[in-house]
């Protein structure tokens, strides 16, 4: 009997001002003086998951872990998986290979200082491992990561790559493999529902905030029928009613903040209906089942 793909809840543990929609309006040099809300909002996430007995994967930003190591410890103590979301929330395709590698190492050092000895997974900020830097996936493997979920195969001005694969695959190592003893990197693209030849995003972030609940449910069912596991992603600030005043345009402010008041109810419904696993457990199961192998370039 064919198994129903699982649901996976992922939380990107960062502050509201880390979002790239705010980059020009709240630059990194001003982050230290901003109102920090990640601790309280992460607690709300943990309480909600506990009520539903759901274990998730928390992609923790090193910047956050360095300033709030107790958050990392509370997440781990609750039994959730901790993965890497970079150190400083960069736009990855703007980094050199060495800058990318240094950012990874620094984040893992900070997580280790907070008590996390093993970090298997990575997600790029704003999914910015795009086609020009797909070869950075090899760097992840070289640095000891075993899976990545940074590819979002949709149309989007920042991270769009609609021709990239929709389903998980093993990334074939390069011809001159610097670490032949390691298993191939498992790449887990973000979930889409394919409708009339178009990959439609829905499973988290602004898509969940802006879509009505019935639309999310419909797209989730389509994705499941198409063999997609439903990877929902959210940020702690999306469960908050705080809407900062910035110099953004009205349109960008709407895009960045609208729908926050609906997320808790929507997420409550999502957690009640799915069969959840952590990303790490899902990745381990996929390796056992066997997957196709793909080499760069992916598009």
pLDDT tens for residues 225-261? Answer: 999 999 999 999 999 988 888 888 888 887 888 889 9
The answer for residues whose C-beta is within 8 angstroms of residue 270's C-beta and 6 or more apart is 7, 9, 216, 232
C-alpha distances (whole Å) from 60 to each of 207, 235, 280 are: 21, 10, 14
Looking at residue 149, its pLDDT comes to 97
Claim: this prediction has a pTM higher than 0.85 = yes
The answer for residues whose C-beta is within 8 angstroms of residue 289's C-beta and 6 or more apart is none
Name the nearest CA neighbour of 184 among 299, 284, 293, 101. Answer: 293
Distance CA 12, CA 170 (A): 24
Place of tokens 């996430």: 45
Looking at residue 2, its pLDDT comes to 56
pLDDT, tens digit (0-9, with 9 covering 90-100), for 167-217: 999 999 998 999 999 999 999 999 999 999 999 999 999 999 999 989 999
Looking at residue 1, its pLDDT comes to 44
Q: Are 105 and 139 in contact (CB under 8 A)?
A: no
Looking at residue 189, its pLDDT comes to 96
- Would you say the C-alpha torsion 106, 15, 190, 72 has a positive or negative sign? positive
Across the beta sheet with 169-171, what order do the strands follow? 230-234, 7-13, 57-60, 81-84, 121-122, 147-148, 185-187, 169-171, 293-294
Tell me the helices (H) and strands (E) count for the chain, helix number first.
10, 11
Q: Where are the domains of the chain?
A: 7-294
DSSP string, 7-53: EEEEEEE--GGGSGGGTTTS-GGGGGGSPP-HHHHHHHHHHHHHHTT
- In which element (H, E) is residue 194 found? strand 192-195
With the CA atoms of 252, 217, 50 and 258 taken in that order, what torsion angle do they form, in degrees rounded to the nearest 10? Answer: 20
- Would you say the C-alpha torsion 46, 49, 51, 53 has a positive or negative sign? negative
Say which CATH topology domain 7-294 has: TIM Barrel (3.20.20)
Q: How do the pLDDT tens digits run along the chain, 299 residues long?
A: 456 788 999 999 999 999 999 888 999 999 999 999 999 999 999 999 999 999 999 999 999 999 999 999 999 999 999 999 999 999 999 999 999 999 999 999 999 999 999 999 999 999 999 999 999 999 999 999 999 999 999 999 899 999 999 999 999 999 899 999 999 999 999 999 999 999 999 999 999 999 998 999 999 999 999 999 999 999 999 999 888 888 888 888 878 888 899 999 999 998 998 789 999 999 999 987 778 888 988 86
């Amino acid at each position: 009997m064919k198994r129903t793909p699982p649901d996976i809840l992922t939380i990107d543990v960062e502050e509201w001002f880390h979002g790239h929609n705010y980059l020009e309006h709240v630059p990194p040099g001003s982050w230290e003086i901003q109102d920090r809300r990640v601790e309280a909002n992460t607690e709300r996430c943990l309480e909600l998951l506990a009520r539903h007995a759901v274990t998730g994967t928390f992609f923790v930003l090193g910047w956050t872990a360095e300033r709030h190591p107790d958050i990392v410890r509370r997440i781990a103590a609750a039994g959730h998986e901790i993965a890497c979301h970079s150190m400083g929330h960069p736009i990855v395709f703007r980094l050199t290979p060495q800058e990318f590698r240094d950012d990874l190492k620094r984040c893992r050092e900070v997580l280790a200082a907070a008590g996390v000895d093993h970090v298997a997974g990575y997600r790029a900020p704003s999914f910015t491992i795009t086609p020009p830097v797909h070869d950075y996936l090899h760097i992840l493997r070289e640095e000891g990561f075993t899976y990545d979920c940074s590819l979002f195969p949709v149309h989007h001005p920042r991270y769009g790559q609609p021709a990239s694969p929709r389903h998980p695959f093993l990334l074939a190592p390069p011809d001159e493999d610097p670490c032949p003893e390691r298993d191939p990197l498992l790449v887990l693209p973000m979930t889409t529902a394919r409708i009339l030849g178009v990959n439609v995003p829905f499973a988290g972030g602004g898509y969940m905030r802006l879509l009505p609940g019935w639309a999310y449910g419909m797209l989730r069912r389509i994705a499941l029928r198409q063999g997609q596991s439903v990877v929902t992603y959210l940020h702690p600030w999306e469960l908050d009613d705080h809407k900062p005043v910035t110099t953004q345009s009205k349109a960008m402010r709407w895009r960045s903040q609208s729908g926050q008041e609906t997320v808790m109810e929507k997420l409550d419904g999502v957690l009640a209906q799915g069969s959840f696993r952590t990303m790490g457990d899902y990745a381990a199961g996929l390796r056992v089942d066997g997957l196709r192998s793909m080499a760069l370039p992916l598009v």
